[in-house]
Chains A and B, each alone.
Chain A
């Protein structure tokens, strides 16, 4: 049986009496790659910060291997803290050179400078920035900075590497690089990697296991088309769900206020013309991605926000759909599932 590097039991954390994390039971095996997915505000970052001992939970226990780490004093956790490190979503580099930045974790561990040198060289190699050691940190692009931050974390050879939204704020070219780095870590280094993302396909591409969080709780299956927004009532008495991008869906609900919704991709009907029907939701969008899966085709459609639909291969061929095709999406108010 594989060793459990983290055991989380009955963990609770609240900010200003609003519960942001409520996890009953969660295990992490050593050496595996985990993705934590969920929309903004679902508690992903808080979970990472608590596991990394940057924040304390209000209730519950966490074990690192078999050591309980939740009720230790800060000064007693140094040894454990030094076995893990976290890379923030918004990377911060000290105002010095790339080399000095990467060397920091080694210096404070009093690692001999000869060893420092060779470890820094190989870390820069892994992130593909070999010639960058003398660059000033403030002269790097966002993507380069993100890679230096990952090198700075790798160089201390942590047992656990936390990456908080490693690809959220960088361009596609660097996203590919960061994904490649995670794959290299998986193949060549025995580090447990726990990263957060809101890109479900990225999570499945990279991780051995995907954990989904919604409103601080772990949910079994990640629904597709998960959106966050607000339920409002118009003057005519009808209920609408307004997304962050200000798109309104007709819904059936008794509730008000902030909520999550999901729309089953199979419940969305595609058509070239807008047609008369009892379905109250109809939007025009553009196809941005086509993924064929056996007898089905998964389409990503941009209608101000991205939505995923699934149709059969036959329909896909009959309709002669292509990348960039403009198409209407239609679904019933009752197809919108509320959380």
Chain B
């Protein structure tokens, strides 16, 4: 029992003294996950929007596919990306394996279906009159599309935040693709996994607290945007 209490004491000590190793790990986590989510948003919001407003062949299939991908295990993403970027893989020449870029790629694949699916349902829930109103006020097709997204802004932001919450907390892909290299690809989740097995509870608990704090902030933000939905 003592080791837990000691661990917690150590954890707060590390957090309040702004321990540089912890600080760097948190910074890298945020950098990797934010980059992944920003890139995933660019593609995911666009595709989610198209899926909601366009009629095309295979629409129902694509909706089902995206919903299936929501349940994609992170280790499977790790496996797929690993086989693509490992030295023998088709993208091996770029030497991405065990770099932050590899982790960004994995987290990007994890976040895209979430952002597509939630944007799709957000845009579908928008009043059909938005587009016609914009058009009749003289908007181009692109301007009217932008207005639809603007009307769905809170739900789309919620989609992006949900994607971020998912990737910042995942461990499988980060471990397999980043390799948990100290000072280079070690992020909060992989560090917690390692330090726990090493018996460095203080270090692990400190990161756990920070990760929980991030998750808590994300949820507050999410709640705020969801309550703004009209």
Nearest A residue to B128 via CB reads A92
C-alpha gap A78/B141 in the complex (Å): 10
Q: How far is the CA of A109 from the CA of B133 in the complex (A)?
A: 15
* Cα-based distance from A109 to B138 in the complex (angstroms): 8
Within 8 A of A (CB), among B130-172: 130, 132-141, 143, 147, 150-151
Residues of A within 8 A of B140 (CB): 75, 78, 108
B129 within 8 Å of A by Cβ? yes
CB neighbours (8 Å) of B136 from chain A are 52, 54, 81, 85-86
Q: How far is the CA of A54 from the CA of B133 in the complex (A)?
A: 10
A105 CA / B127 CA spacing, docked (Å) = 19
B137-A105 in contact (CB<8A)? yes
**Cβ of B29 to closest chain A Cβ, rounded Å:** 35
Distance of A86 Cα from B133 Cα, bound (Å): 8
Chain A 293-317, CB-CB to B under 8 Å as 1, else 0, gives 0000000000000000000000000
Q: CB-CB < 8 A to A92: which residues of B?
A: 127, 129-130, 133
Query: Which range contains the number of A residues in contact with the other chain?
Result: 20 to 34
The distance from the CB of B23 to the nearest CB of chain A, in whole angstroms, is 40
Shortest Cβ distance from B61 into chain A, in angstroms? Answer: 27
B133→A88 contact, CB < 8 A: yes
Interface residue A198 (Cβ < 8 Å from any Cβ of B): no
B156 to chain A, nearest CB (A): 13
Residues of A133-170 at the interface with B, using a CB-CB cut-off of 8 Å, are 138, 152-153, 156
The reply to whether A54 and B137 form a contact with Cβ atoms under 8 Å apart is: no
A-contacting residues, B109-137, CB 8 Å: 127, 129-130, 132-137
Bound together, the chains give a CA A109 to CA B140 distance in angstroms of 10
Q: A95 at the A/B interface (Cβ < 8 Å)? A: yes
Number of A-B contacts (CB under 8 A): 49
List of B residues within 8 angstroms of A152 by Cβ: 137
B230 at the interface (CB under 8 A from A): yes
User: How far does the alpha carbon of A74 sit from the alpha carbon of B127 in the complex, in Å?
Assistant: 22
Is A82 interfacial (CB-CB < 8 Å)? Answer: yes
Set of chain B residues within 8 Å of A52, measured between Cβ atoms: 136
**B230 and A94 contact, CB distance less than 8 A:** no
Write out the residue numbers on chain B whose beta carbons fall within 8 Å of the beta carbon of A86. 136
Interface residues of B in 212-227 (CB under 8 A from A): none
Q: Find the B residue at minimum CB distance from A94.
A: B151
The chain A residue sitting closest to B230, CB to CB, is A95
Query: CA A104 – CA B144 in complex, angstroms?
Result: 11
Query: Which one of A78, A90, A138, A156 has the highest number of Cβ atoms from chain B below 10 Å of its Cβ?
Result: A78
Is A156's CB under 8 angstroms from B138's CB? Answer: yes
Is A95 a contact of B151 with CB atoms below 8 Å?
A: yes
List chain B residues, Cβ under 8 A from A81: 135-136, 138
Residues of B within 8 A of A85 (CB): 136-138
In the bound complex, CA of A81 to CA of B143 (Å): 14
Contacts of B138 in A (CB 8 A): 78, 81-82, 85, 105, 108-109, 156
B133 and A94: CB pair below 8 A?
A: yes
List A23-76 residues whose CB lies under 8 Å from chain B: 52, 54, 74-75
Q: Which A residues lie within 8 Å of B147 (CB)?
A: 94, 104
Q: Which residue of B lies closest to A109 (CB)?
A: B138
Report the separation of the CA atoms of residues A152 and B147 in the bound assembly, to the nearest whole angstrom: 16
- For A153, give the chain B residue with the smallest CB separation: B137
| Chain B nearest Cβ from A87, distance in angstroms | 8
Chain B residue, CB-CB nearest to A78: B140
Q: Are A74 and B134 in contact (CB under 8 A)?
A: no
B134 to A, closest residue via Cβ: A104
Partner of A104 from B127, B129, B137, B141 at Cβ < 8 Å: B137
Whether A88 contacts B151 by the Cβ 8 Å rule is no
Q: A52-B136, A81-B136, A92-B133 are in contact. List 9 more A-B contacts (CB 8 A).
A: A54-B136, A75-B140, A85-B138, A90-B129, A92-B127, A92-B130, A104-B137, A104-B147, A105-B137
Query: Can you list 14 contacts pairing A with B, beta carbon distance less than 8 Å?
Result: A54-B132, A54-B136, A81-B135, A81-B138, A85-B137, A88-B132, A92-B130, A94-B151, A95-B151, A104-B147, A108-B137, A108-B138, A108-B140, A109-B138
Closest 10 CB pairs of A and B: A92-B129, A82-B138, A105-B137, A86-B136, A92-B133, A108-B143, A108-B139, A85-B136, A95-B230, A105-B138
